[in-house]
């Protein structure tokens, strides 16, 4: 073997990424002919030519474009909003209406649960509701009666207050203005009696004037009688003298006849005038009797006036008594209204309490009914029942919260792909994805990136930092199921061979750890 002198290696410049030229660098350049090689022997040695060719070949290989695939271990899960986990909403006996791998649509009954305890609660609540409604009916009747009594009490109080106001006005008129009809009538009667008394007094004055006139007539008659008596005395004296003359014979007996006739005439006239005095005296007595009777009538009239005054006082007292009674009636009606109002308030409060209780009972009943409706478990999504061994829980009493079954829409599944942190820059949300399950038959499924989370986690060995990229897998044949494992292949952007080698070298010897 020929030995070659060692060349002093110059420090190499770091490699730079050279963008591809317009010409295809992957096409090898034509090799020079033997004549040109021989002509350049003076410039290049054989070994140098070989090294140059190798370097040129490596550079050409490094510039070859590649489309590398990025693989990641994938675990299939169900898709959010396309899965339904059914648990026991309440303790009871489970009755399944579906079987494993059965396809269901929204609204299909998956299972029913029988709960004797819930049925008893519903029955008790229904009974309490019926009793509460009956109590409300009774309280409504009580409230209606109480309100009717209140209206009657208000009307009675209003009438009593109007009557009281009227009595006050009557009393005020009777005591101040004397305009009360009954008192005014009595006062009119008093005025009439006083007018009668005035008339009677006028009669008495007339009688007294008549008596005075009679006394004047009597005095005139008495004067006349005195004059007549004097004439009689003179006549008798003259007659005595004539009798002496007759006895003496100076006169005849016939001369005495004129004197006797004159004396008799004077005596007759005196008797007549005395009779007139007697008559006048009787007239005076009669007039005085009339005066006394009239004075008695006046006294009676005054008594009547006093009686009328007493009647006025009695009317006033009666009005005051009626006013007091009416005030008492108003107080009674007010007390009745207050009592009726309290009954209305009590009935209304009781009714409101019963209605509030009814609302609570109805809410409780509706809640229990909804709870009973929840015992009829229906499918919310179209999908497939993926839970095995359902016969083991059918017709069994299960506790609340226990999982019964799962319904999953298998047309679209979600895969969680673990990607190393160093490779995350190779993909983007639009990168195409192919999922290959771990199975004997080669079959692959189209997928697309659903989410690239910004959270970095550790893998199962806690040695590598990974991201769990969420992909959506098109499971048209519905052969994939949650829990299956596989590999997701991401198509990345074009890279040169040297770039791929550089990434792998940096993975083996991370520069950030140096």
| Residue 265 lies inside a defined structural domain of this protein | yes
Q: What is the mean pLDDT of residues 165-186?
A: 71
* Claim to verify: residue 216 and residue 319 sit in the same structural domain: yes
Q: How does pLDDT run across 292-328, given as a tens digit for each residue? A: 888 888 788 788 878 877 777 777 788 788 888 989 9
In order of 108, 428, 430, 436, the CA distances from 417 in angstroms are 34, 14, 16, 12
User: Is there a single domain that holds both residue 420 and residue 340?
Assistant: no
Residue 513, pLDDT score: 54
Tell me if 16 is assigned to some domain: no
pLDDT tens for each residue of 212-243: 888 888 888 888 888 888 888 888 888 888 78
Q: Are 300 and 237 contained in the same domain?
A: yes
Do 292 and 316 have their domain in common?
A: yes
Alpha-carbon distance 163 to 300, whole Å? 39
| pLDDT beyond 80 at 340 | yes
Examine residue 101 and state whether it is found in any structural domain, yes or no. no
Give me the residues paired with residue 490 across strands: 70, 433
As a whole number of Å, the CA-based R_g of the chain is: 76
Q: Which of 463, 475, 461 is nearest to 415 (CA)?
A: 475
Tally the C-alpha atoms within 13 A of residue 117's C-alpha that lie toward its C-beta: 6
Q: Which two tokens stand for residue 281?
A: 């005296």
Confidence label for 363 from pLDDT (cuts 50, 70 and 90):
very high
Phi, psi dihedral angles at 162 (to 5 degrees): -65, -40
Nearest Cα neighbor of 406 from 77, 91, 87 is 87
List the one residue out of 489, 174, 139 whose CA is nearest residue 348.
Answer: 139
At residue 80, φ and ψ (nearest 5 deg) are -60, 140
97 in Cβ contact with 404 (< 8 Å): no
Residue 418 CB neighbour total at 10 angstroms: 17
pLDDT of residue 42: 47
> DSSP readout, 160-180?
HHHHHHHHHHHHHIIIII---
Q: Does 238 map to a domain?
A: yes
Position of tokens 């890279």?
495
| Bigger pLDDT: 48 vs 370 | 370
Residue where one domain finishes, among candidates 330, 356, 382? 356
269 and 185 in a single domain? The answer is: yes
- Please report, for residues 417, 447, 480, 492, 503, the alpha-carbon distance to residue 71 in angstroms, rounded to integers and kept in the order given: 9, 13, 19, 10, 15
Together in a domain, 344 and 230: yes
Strand partners, 384: 103, 408
The residue whose two tokens read 């019926």 is 130
At 106-151, the pLDDT tens digits run 999 999 999 888 899 999 999 999 999 999 999 999 999 999 999 9
Q: Quick check: is 102 in a domain?
A: no
**Residues 207, 270: contact at Cβ < 8 Å?**
no
Give, rounded to a whole angstrom, the gap between the first and last alpha carbons of the chain. Answer: 40
Most confident of 51-60, 278-287, 379-388, 421-430: 379-388
Maximum pairwise Cα distance, the chain: 263
Domain boundary among 356, 390, 420: 356
Task: Identify the CATH number of the domain in which residue 490 sits.
Answer: 2.40.30.170
Residue 343 lies in a domain: yes
Residues 350, 466 share a domain: no
pLDDT computed for residue 16 by the predictor: 41
73 & 57 share domain: no
Strand partners, 458: 465
Task: Please identify, among 294, 324, 356, the residue that sits at the C-terminal boundary of a domain.
Answer: 356
Q: Residue 103: inside a domain, yes or no? A: no
pLDDT at 511: 58
Transcribe 379-423 into DSSP letters: -SSSEEE----GGGTTT-EE-TT-EEEEEE-TTEEEEEEEEEGGG
Q: How far apart are CA 386 and CA 77, in angstroms?
A: 12
Read off the CATH number of the domain in which 206 is found. 1.10.287.1700
Return the SS3 of 119: helix
Residue 164 lies inside a defined structural domain of this protein: no
Q: What range defines the domain where residue 419 resides?
A: 65-82+409-514
Cα–Cα nearest to 418, from 455, 446, 473:
455
Counted domains in the chain: 3
Convert the pLDDT of each residue in 454-500 to its tens digit: 877 776 666 677 888 999 999 988 888 898 999 999 888 777 766 66
Please enumerate in sequence order all residues whose Cβ is within 8 A of that of 87, keeping only pairs 6 or more positions apart, or say none: 401, 402, 403, 404
Strand, helix or coil for residue 95: strand
pLDDT for 176 equals 67
More confident residue, 445 or 36: 445
458 or 408, which is more confident? 408
* CB contact at 8 A, 101 and 377: no
Q: Examine the domain organization and report whether 47 and 69 are in the same domain.
A: no
Give me 355's structure tokens. Answer: 């209605």
CA–CA separation, 123 and 116 (whole Å): 10
Place of tokens 């090799």: 31
Q: Which pLDDT belongs to residue 180?
A: 60
Tokens of 269: 């006239």
- Whether residues 418 and 451 share a domain: the answer is yes
Specify whether the CB–CB gap between 158 and 320 falls below 8 A. Answer: no
Confidence of residue 162 (pLDDT cuts 50, 70, 90): very high
Q: What is the structure's pLDDT at 331?
A: 92
Highest mean pLDDT among 91-105, 161-175, 293-307: 91-105
Please tell me whether residue 3 adopts helix, strand or coil conformation: coil
For 425-472, give the secondary structure using H, E and C: HHCCCCCEEEEEECCCCCCCEEEEEEECCCCCEECCCCCCEEEEEEEE
> What is the share, in percent, of the chain residues with pLDDT greater than 70?
81
Q: What does the pLDDT look like over 249-271, one tens digit per residue? A: 776 777 777 778 888 888 888 88
Indicate if the pLDDT at residue 21 is higher than 70.
Answer: no
For residues 492 and 421, state if they share a domain: yes
Q: Residues 219, 198: one domain? A: yes
Q: What is the pLDDT of residue 11?
A: 38
Region of 389 (left: φ > 0; alpha: ψ -120 to 50; beta: rest) is left
């Amino acid at each position: 073997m020929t030995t070659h002198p060692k060349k002093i290696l110059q420090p190499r410049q770091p490699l730079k990424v050279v963008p591809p030229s317009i010409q295809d660098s992957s096409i090898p350049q034509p090799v020079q002919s033997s004549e040109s090689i021989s002509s350049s022997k003076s410039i290049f040695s054989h070994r140098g030519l070989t090294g140059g060719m190798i370097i040129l070949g490596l550079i050409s290989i490094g510039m070859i474009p590649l489309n590398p695939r990025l693989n990641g271990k994938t675990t299939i899960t169900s898709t959010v909003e396309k899965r339904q986990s059914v648990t026991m909403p309440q303790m009871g006996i489970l009755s399944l209406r579906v079987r494993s791998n059965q396809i269901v649509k929204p609204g299909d009954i998956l299972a029913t649960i029988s709960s004797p305890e819930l049925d008893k609660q519903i029955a008790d609540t229904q009974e309490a509701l019926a009793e509460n409604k009956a109590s409300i009916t009774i309280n409504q009747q009580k409230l209606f009666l109480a309100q009717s009594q209140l209206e009657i009490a208000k009307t009675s109080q209003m009438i009593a207050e109007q009557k009281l106001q009227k009595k006050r006005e009557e009393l005020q008129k009777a005591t101040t203005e004397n305009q009360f009809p009954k008192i005014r009538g009595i006062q009119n009667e008093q005025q009439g009696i006083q007018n009668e008394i005035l008339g009677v007094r006028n009669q008495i004055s007339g009688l007294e004037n008549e008596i005075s006139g009679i006394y004047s007539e009597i005095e005139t008659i008495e004067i006349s009688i005195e004059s007549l008596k004097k004439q009689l005395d003179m006549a008798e004296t003259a007659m005595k003298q004539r009798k002496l003359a007759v006895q003496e014979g100076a006169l005849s007996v016939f001369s005495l006849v004129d004197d006797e006739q004159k004396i008799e005439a004077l005596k007759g006239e005196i008797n007549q005038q005395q009779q007139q005095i007697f008559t006048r005296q009787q007239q005076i007595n009669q007039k005085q009797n009339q005066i006394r009777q009239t004075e008695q009538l006046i006294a009676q009239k005054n008594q009547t006036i006093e009686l009328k005054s007493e009647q006025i006082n009695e009317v006033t007292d009666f009005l005051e008594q009626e006013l007091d009674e009416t005030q008492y009636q108003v107080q009674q009606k007010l007390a009745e209204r207050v009592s009726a109002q309290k009954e209305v308030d009590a009935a209304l409060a009781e009714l409101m309490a019963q209605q509030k209780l009814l609302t609570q009972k109805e809410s409780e009943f509706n809640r229990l009914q909804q709870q009973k409706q929840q015992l009829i478990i229906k499918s919310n999504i179209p999908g497939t029942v993926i839970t095995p061994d359902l016969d083991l829980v059918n017709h069994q009493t299960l506790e609340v919260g226990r999982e019964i079954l799962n319904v999953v829409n298998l047309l679209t599944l979600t895969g969680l792909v673990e990607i190393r942190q160093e490779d995350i820059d190779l993909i983007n949300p639009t990168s195409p994805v192919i999922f290959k399950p771990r199975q004997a038959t080669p079959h692959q499924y189209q997928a697309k990136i659903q989410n690239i989370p910004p959270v970095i986690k550790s893998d199962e060995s806690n040695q590598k930092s990974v991201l769990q990229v969420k992909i959506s897998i098109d499971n048209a044949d519905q052969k994939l199921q949650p829990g299956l494992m596989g590999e997701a292949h991401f198509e990345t952007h074009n890279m040169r061979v040297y770039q791929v080698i550089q990434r792998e070298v940096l993975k083996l010897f991370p520069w950030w750890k140096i």
